[in-house]
Structure 1
Amino acid sequence: MRVHNAPIIEAANGRTPSRPPVWFMRQAGRSLPEYRQAREGIDMLDSCFMPELLAEITLQPVRRHDVDAAILFSDIVVPLKAAGVGVNIVPGRGPVMDAPIRTAADVGALPILDTDIPEVAQGISIVLDELTPQQAMIGFVGAPFTLASYLVEGGPSKNHEKTKALMHSEPDTWHRLMERLTPTIVAFLGQQVDAGIDAMQLFDSWAGYLNEPDYREFVLPYSTQILESVAGKIPRIHFGVGTGELLTAMSEAGSEVMGVDYRVSMADAAKRVKTRVLQGNLDPALLFAGDDAVRAAVARIKAETAGLDGHIWNLGHGVLPTTDAEAITRAVAIIHEEG
């Protein structure tokens, strides 16, 4: 573990940071011209297994925007790919499986990650060599429901009907699927911790499509296991998209920090969760609206989070790919000055 005084780690631990800490989900990616140049002609998943390129892309927004953390450039399906699952990221669509997981036999044949991914560890090491003591390295893994949905649907889905059908028609099969996915996620997270990350985020892209009873029965036990696997080692952030109605249940999984998307106010979120540290929740579209709109939102969120033990600034989801890079830099500066 590095010795540092990164504002994000201070805030996550309920201490007063030296400045308002900020990082943005998807801060490394298509919004940056240097990213498009670095990845030209290289497949998305391939780039996640190339240490020097992985590190370069991870560091680009830190250099450009003065954010307080680097977020590992990766994808939630990387551990599946490393375990031997046939998956590719199709431009304009997302992760697509060679064959969906739909039956008990399919689940039984799903490989579990049991080897290291040295390219990721090497990439993290390169990043850590460049970061200052005030900058944190955040790792991440996809939550088991989101990974399960990709596996069952065969790719992205608007309604997750096949996923929910399996969950309710064959609950035993569903639980076996989660029991096979969880060790792979835990293993990938553990490798990131061993490589030196300072904090982690469990990212549940699709949990917001569930109601609370289903989340508690079919998802919460497994997300809890993942977060428990690194308890006491690094600060843990838990975030889902469209999960305002699930915040209470999600906060029971045990993270130190709860991420909040832009659909629910931080004041309401604070009443729903068990932790006293929140992350979020600027609307990503505000970065298209000009500095005055960003300043107004920063002032509102600052007021809503005034009574918390800690607050990490972020968007209420990821940077949109058509966002002007200069607008991101200005938003970070506004947060540092006024947040």
Structure 2
Amino acid sequence: MKNDLILRAAKGEKVERPPCWIMRQAGRYLPEYHEVKAGRDFFETCRDAEVASEITIQPVRRYKGLLDAAIIFSDILVIPQALGMEVQLIDGKGPNFPNPIRTIEDAQKVLDYKVDLFTELGWAFDSITLTRKKLNGDVPLFGFCGAPWTLLVYMTEGGGSRLFNYAKEWLNKYPEVSHKLLQKITDVAVEFLSQQVVAGAQILQVFESWGGELSSMDFNEFSLPYLKQIAKKVPLRLKELGIKETVPIVVFAKNSWYALDKLCDAGYNVVSLDWSWDPKEAVKINNNRVVLQGNLDPGVIYGSDEIITQKTEYMITAFGGGKQNYIVNFGHGTHPGMDTEKIKFFLQECHRIGSRE
């Protein structure tokens, strides 16, 4: 590796500056993304290893020397696809499941589905292997997956939601079946993450994007146990697969303000924070148990250079200066239409501020 900064930081080592990467750094805000995608369907784009690898590398190339990781161009909803569900991504609308899980019979079809990851998601492993080769050690490569509760939301709601009524109905009316579904998703997620490492991923992230829609009590029952399983079982599976080196794992539970203390004890190397957290409070709760990642509001990028500098400086300083137990990121992903030069300025400021003695 020419740059292993994020791997060292994720393992809790002291580093010369905080590593920087951005959720959704490869995607719609980049003009070169639209050129390469060229009107293709989103999942068609993901399944083309050559195109997916090019999109993954685009931000690393554009922000040369400023990003310390690449994240494979894919989507969290590929696990529901591997479970036999049809998933569409509709421009201007987002994800759509034409046949969501609404009945016990629907749930049983998913529970009975025999998953062959290499048949269903072999393209994902091909993309990772090709991208790893193309990166040539410039930066490490992230693999990722959606967390079980978040995926169950999409699978029952049929897409995004404001009320989450179908997902909440499942938890409260059919808790036993919900647990069976969550376990099935967990088992697939463990194997999917592990095989991404075999394919070439060097660090992993689990996205619990809808964690904040659960009460603290329900988070303890329907999210946390499955997140813990992933953190525990992936390293064990990697040993079985002959992977000897430690592969750091990040968990990002958006808006789960009540869960930070629990997440710091969940077995992950890194806990990523959304922008609702005050860094100083998060550092206090964490008490050096894990590495923290985040958490700039992506909306700051719409501001002036002075505002970007001010809020970036506060963030890095409040997280302890960044020389240990910290990775710079946004508190969520980039937005379509963001100014690429503003993001470049943000990254430059992260390097400048983070490198100070």
- TM superposition score category, shorter chain reference: over 0.9
Sequence identity, in percent?
A: 37
Q: Is the 8 A contact 1:80 1:113 kept in 2?
A: no
In the TM superposition, what whole-angstrom CA distance separates every residue of 1:258-315 from its partner, at most 9, and x where no partner exists? 0011011111112334733100011101111022112111221122111774110000
Deviation at 1:34, TM superposition (A): 0.2
Indicate which of 27, 30, 35 corresponds to 1:29: 27
Instruction: Give the AA of the match of 1:143.
Output: A
**2:282 is the alignment partner of 1:269:** yes
Partner of 1:73: 73
Counterpart of 2:188, as a letter, is T
Q: Which residue of 1 aligns with 2:306?
A: 292
Match of 1:333 in 2: 348
Counterpart of 2:15 (choices 14, 17, 36) is 17
* 3-state SS of paired residue (1:202): strand
Q: Comparing 280-289 with 293-302, which one deviates more in the overlay? A: 293-302
Contact 1:112 1:183 (C-alpha < 8 Å) held by counterparts? no
Instruction: Supply the distance in 2 between the matched residues of 1:115 and 1:316 (Cα, whole angstroms).
Output: 31
Q: Does 1:160 align with 2:174?
A: no
Runs of 5+ unmatched residues, structure 2 = 236-244
Tell me, what secondary structure is at the counterpart of 1:264? coil
2:169 and 2:28 map into 1 onto residues whose CA distance is 35
Which amino acid in 2 is paired with 1:47? T
Q: Secondary structure at the match of 2:47?
A: coil
CA contact (8 A) 1:244 1:269 kept: no
> How far does the alpha carbon of each residue in 1:200-234 deviate from its partner, in whole angstroms, 9 at most, with x for none?
11001111111211101111111111222223741
Q: Secondary structure at the match of 2:153?
A: helix
Gaps of 5+ in 1: none
> In structure 2, which of residues 334, 342, 354 is the aligned counterpart of residue 319 of structure 1?
334
2:248 is aligned with 1:235: yes
| TM norm structure 2 | 0.90
Hey, what does 1:207 align to over in structure 2?
211
Listed one character per residue, the Cα deviations across residues 109-155 of structure 1 (whole Å, up to 9, x for unaligned) are 11353231332222112221232545111111000111000011111
Find the aligned partners of 1:126 and 1:333 in 2 and give their Cα distance.
29
Check if 1:259 corresponds to 2:272.
Answer: yes
Q: Structure 1 residues 148, 220: CA separation in 2 closer, same or farther (over 3 Å shift)?
A: same
Ranges of 4+ aligned residues in structure 1 off by more than 4 Å:
none
Matches of 2:27 and 2:337 in 1, distance apart?
10
> In 1, distance between residues paired with 2:115 and 2:16?
39
For residue 140 of structure 1, give the secondary structure of its aligned residue in structure 2: strand
Alignment of 1:135 with 2:157, yes or no, is no
CA distance in 1, matches of 2:102, 2:83: 19
SS at match of 2:296: coil
Secondary structure at the counterpart of residue 281 of structure 1 = strand
Structure 1-normalised TM-score? 0.94
